[in-house]
Structure 1
């Protein structure tokens, strides 16, 4: 069963998502999808950006609220 790569900013908020079948099985491939330039990927890694592979249920729980602007991360930032 394929999952979803989620892009997580340093504050823990999901900033993007892409289907695993489109990108591939490696976190490095997901990072390249979101951030094409090597220099930018290195900077993001240092800053604490992460990419995690999750299933559909976890995507609904973690990514969907963030992507819809309904997560606790955005409420705390306001």
Structure 2
């Protein structure tokens, strides 16, 4: 079994990736890997999260930009580290 399972949020952003050989053949196996609790998996499925198996070229095209913060799914904004001030918790 080759390739990757990618976790795709409702807007099409790839939010996670795992080697298919480490998880299994079914999308349900991948969903369990990312979301262990059944209730959370049901909620995510109803919200539109999905899991697709892709080969390396497709992973490079779709997953890599999202995982590196280079995609445009959320208005092109990237997350930046912000130093915490003392007393912030």
Contact 2:14 2:67 in 1 (8 A): yes
User: 1:72 offset after TM fit, Å?
Assistant: 1.5
Q: Give the count of matched residue pairs.
A: 77
How big is the alpha-carbon RMSD for the aligned residues of Structure 1 and Structure 2?
A: 1.1
- TM-score, length-scaled by structure 2: 0.83
Gaps of 5+ in 2: 78-89
Runs of 4+ with >6 A deviation: none
More helix by share: 1
Structure with higher Rg: it is 2
- Which structure carries more relative contact order (alpha carbon 8 Å, separation 6+)? 1
User: 1:28 offset after TM fit, Å?
Assistant: 0.2
Q: Which residue of 2 aligns with 1:62?
A: 62
- TM-score, length-scaled by structure 1: 0.94
Gaps of 5+ in 1: none
Q: Which residue of 2 aligns with 1:28?
A: 28
Residues in 1 aligned to 2:15 and 2:31: alpha-carbon distance in whole angstroms: 12
